[in-house]
Amino acid sequence: MDILIKAAQLILSLSILVVLHEFGHFLPAKWFKTKVEKFYLFFNPGFSLLKFKKGETEYGVGWLPLGGYVKIAGMIDESMDKEQMKKPAEPWEFRSKPAWQRLIIMIGGVTVNLILGFMLYAMILAVWGRTYLPAENTKYGVFATELMQTQGFQDGDLLLKANGEDLESVNQLNKDLLLKDIHEVTVQRAGVMETILIPEDFGQMMVDSGVKSAFQVRIPAVIDSVMAGTPADSVGLQKGDSLVRVNDLKSIFFQELAGEINSHPGEEITVGFYRNDVLDSTTVVVSPEGTIGFYPKSPRNFFEYRTIEYGFFEAIPAGFEYTGEVLNNYVISLKFLFSKSGVQQVGSFLTIGDLFAPTWDWHSFWEITAFLSLILAVMNILPIPALDGGHVLFLLYEMISGRPPSEKFLERAQLVGIVILIGLMLLAIGNDAIRFIFN
């Protein structure tokens, strides 16, 4: 059921993004009296799930959910319709329009995605505000990953400052360590303040080690729910049980106990827990994946969160600022793609689908959709032939030089771009397959 809910959210999100992106091309094309032959949600090689014609345009839904397209007459695009290009140019074709009009048509999709991302973030702030866990409220400190322990951090450290400035939240520090130049972090350990130095290019170190979050907020191991048919269910563990021991490891914290469980796949372990203030224990066989099948209570059950509320007009500049921050962070993160570790983390729709919550949560859904809209804008504006950015690059060349590239050159460039995109798609799908097979 979790997979179906995630898949439904992914398809709905992509449908919204693709349709609006293509409308960004469709509307200016119509404004400039350019013929649009097809408007499709998803690709339709061989056949379409649904299609109908209204006016001069065929509208449809394809069966391959890898994007969508508008086919504009007189334009060298992924359809590679060379026959049309051999005929004399008609006044209603893309190639007959002034360069500035063609430029507006080409940047329309990216523009819509940027506007959509901003509007969604502004709406989210107006409706839900911004809720976060202040760093000073994480009373149990943090769980430090192995990479952070090699830098001198310890489980239970209370994070206070980064580069001498007070921390807003642990999540913010996780982002900053990856994307910004953080050279020192101040922690409180056993009541004593300590400053830990961070090496240069630490973000690349995180990528190379596969660490997505340097720190997690430590939470007590209190069971929120037990999945049916799992080892935990078979031995009678219940909601509200507080785990305090796994084998010889005594701890009240979920991350430590989960790590011990994970280190014994397929083995029998002893679990100690409190139920109704009574200490008890049981033995359970860990699954081959290294789990026993329960969800812990969320941090919201243990810490005081802070919510910043926005009125309608306050949400507009706040949404614009947040959109700029997300865009900036994503563009900075692209540098990691040029490393071996970064390439290995490229993912396809399995990776994207895993971003969505296993239960339907509109707040989370719109946040992820806004993020994906900005990603779609950035990826489409890259100067790669077959993407909007490639067309824009050639149009700018035409506007500056006063002459367009030859149609033969554009056809070859389009073909090269398609090969590049197919290669990237195969890389992403291959990475997802490897992650799925080898867990």
Angle at 108 between CA 103 and CA 112, to 5 degrees: 155
Average pLDDT across the chain, whole number: 88
As a whole number, mean pLDDT of residues 259-281 equals 93
Confidence of residue 26 (pLDDT cuts 50, 70, 90): very high
| Residues 229-266: tens digit of each pLDDT | 999 999 999 999 999 999 999 999 999 999 999 999 99
Confidence of residue 134 (pLDDT cuts 50, 70, 90): very high
The structural domains of the chain, ordered by start, are 2-18+27-37+74-125+369-438 (no CATH), 135-217 (2.30.42), 223-297 (2.30.42.10)
More confident residue, 347 or 26: 26
Predicted model pTM: 0.85
As a whole number, mean pLDDT of residues 167-185 equals 92
3-state secondary structure 10-65: HHHHHHHHHHHHHHHHHHHHHHCCCCEEEEEEEEEEEEEEEEEEECCEEEEEEEEE
**The pLDDT of residue 190:** 87
| Residues 345-363: tens digit of each pLDDT | 766 666 777 778 888 889 9
More confident residue, 121 or 431: 121
Which residue, 158, 159, 204, 160, is CA-closest to 181?
Answer: 204
pLDDT beyond 90 at 75? no
Percent of the chain residues past pLDDT 70, beyond the cut: 93
As a whole number, mean pLDDT of residues 12-26 equals 93
pLDDT beyond 80 at 374? yes
Looking at the chain, how many residues does it have?
A: 439
The string of DSSP letters for 58-99 reads: EEEEEEEEEEEEEEETT---TT--HHHHHSPPPTTSGGGS-H
**The pLDDT of residue 86:** 64
List C-alpha distances in Å: 256 to 143, 251, 438: 8, 7, 23
Half-sphere exposure of 218 (CA within 13 A, CB side): 19
**The pLDDT of residue 98:** 92
Q: Which residues contact 417 (CB under 8 A, 6 or more apart)?
A: 384, 385, 386, 387, 390
Window from 2-16, 43-57, 136-150, 402-416 with minimum mean pLDDT: 402-416
